[in-house]
A and B are shown apart, each in its own frame.
Chain A
Amino acid sequence: MPSDGLSISIEDITKKYGDFFALKDVSLEVRSGEFLTLLGPSGSGKTTLLMVLAGFTRPDYGSVKFGTEEVILKPPHLRDIGMVFQNYALFPHMNVEQNVGYPQKLRGVSKEKIKETVNNALKTVKLDGLGHRGVAELSGGQRQRVALARAIVFQPKILLMDEPLSALDKKLREEMQIELRQLHDSLNMTTVYVTHDQKEALTMSDRIAVINDGGLMQLDTPNVIYRSPNNAFIADFIGESSLLSVRVSKKTAYLGKAKILVEHSLEKDGDFSLVVRPEKLFLIDDKSVDINSFTGTVDDSIYQGESQLLIIRLNPAFHGDQLLRMRIPNGSAALSELPLIGSKVTVGLKKSDSYLVE
Chain B
Amino acid sequence: MMSIWNGSVSETQIKFKNRIWLYAVSIIVLFLLIVPSLVVIPMSFSASQYLEFPPKDYSTRWYENYFYSIDWLQATWTSVKVGVLTIFVATPLGIMAAYGLVNSNAKTRSILFPIMISPMMVPVILVAIGLFYFFVQFKMVNSILGLVLGHSLIAMPLVLIIVLSALSNYDMNQEKVARSLGASRLRAFFEITLPQIKFSIVSASLISFLTSFDEVIISLFVSGGDNSTITRSMFLALRDQIDPTIAAISTILIVISSVFLIFMQLLGSPKD
Interface positions of A (Cβ within 8 A of B) = 54-56, 75-83, 85, 87, 89, 91-93, 102-103, 106-107, 150-151, 154, 160
Interface size on B, residues (CB 8 A): 18
Distance of A151 Cα from B178 Cα, bound (Å)? 10
Residues of B contacting A89 in the complex (Cβ-Cβ under 8 angstroms): 171, 173-174, 176-177
Contacts of B181 in A (CB 8 A): 77, 83, 102-103, 106, 150-151, 154
Q: Does B54 contact A (CB under 8 A)?
A: no
Q: Is the Cβ of B171 less than 8 Å from the Cβ of A87?
A: yes
Structural contact, B177 and A83, CB atoms closer than 8 A: yes
Contact with A along B173-202 (1 / 0, CB 8 A): 110111111111101100010011000000
- Asked whether, in the complex, the Cβ of B173 is within 8 Å of the Cβ of A85, the reply is yes
Task: Kindly state the separation between the CA atoms of A72 and B144 in the bound complex, as whole angstroms.
Answer: 50
Complex interface: chain A residues within 8 A of B171 (CB): 87, 89
A76 & B187 in contact (Cβ 8 Å cutoff): no
Q: Nearest Cβ in chain B — how far from A49, in angstroms?
A: 15
Tell me whether A106 and B182 are in contact (CB under 8 A).
yes
Is A76 touching B174 in the complex (CB atoms < 8 A)? no
Q: How far is the CB of B33 from chain A (nearest CB, A)?
A: 38
Give chain A residues whose Cβ lies under 8 Å from the Cβ of B184. 75, 77
For B178, B182, B188, the residue with the greatest tally of chain A CB atoms inside 10 Å of its CB is: B182
- Tell me, rounded to whole Å, the shortest Cβ–Cβ distance linking B104 to chain A: 15
With A77-B183, A79-B180, A106-B181 known, 15 other A-B pairs at CB within 8 A are A56-B180, A75-B184, A77-B181, A82-B180, A85-B177, A87-B171, A89-B176, A91-B174, A91-B178, A92-B196, A102-B178, A102-B183, A106-B187, A107-B182, A151-B181
Residue of A whose beta carbon sits closest to that of B181:
A103
Chain B residues with CB under 8 Å of A102's CB are 178, 181, 183
**What separation, in Å, do the CA atoms of A215 and B191 have in the docked complex?**
38
Minimal Cβ-Cβ distance residue in A for B174 = A89
B contact residues around A79 at 8 Å (CB):
180
User: Judging by beta carbons under 8 Å apart, are A83 and B174 in contact?
Assistant: no
For residue A56, which residues in chain B have a CB less than 8 angstroms away from its CB? Answer: 176, 179-180
Residue in B173, B174, B176, B181 with the greatest tally of chain A CB atoms within 10 Å: B181
In the assembly, what is the distance between CA of A83 and CA of B174, in Å? 12
